Amino acid sequence: MIVVISVGGSVLARALDPEKFKSYALALKEISKKNTLFVVTGGGQAARDYIGIARQLGADEATCDLIGIELTRLNARLLIAALDNDAYYEPPLDYKKAKNASLSGKIVVMGGVAPGQTTDAVSAVLAEYTGADLLINATAIDGVYTSDPKKDKDATKFESMTPKQLIEIIIRTEMIAGANSPTDLLAAKIIERSNIKTIVLNGENPQNIIDAVYGEHIGTVIQK
Min CB(70)–ligand UTP separation in Å: 8
Longest dimension (CA), the chain: 48
Say how far residue 201 (Cα) sits from the centre of its chain: 10
| d(C-alpha 145, C-alpha 189), whole Å | 18
Residue 122's identity, in one-letter code, is V
Residue 76 assigned as binding residue: no
The total number of residues written for the chain in this structure: 224
**Helices and strands of the chain, counted as H and E runs:** 9, 7
- Residue with Cβ nearer ligand UTP (2 or 185): 185
Q: Does 32 bind ligand UTP (CB under 6 A)?
A: no
Interface pick for ligand UTP out of 46, 68, 102, 145 (rule CB under 6 A) = 68
- Residue with Cβ nearer ligand UTP (82 or 122): 122
Q: Does 115 bind ligand UTP (CB under 6 A)?
A: yes
CB 198 within 8 A of CB 223: yes
Q: Does 112 bind ligand UTP (CB under 6 A)?
A: yes
Residues that bind ligand UTP (CB under 6 A): 8-10, 42-44, 47, 64-65, 68-69, 72, 112-115, 117-119, 122
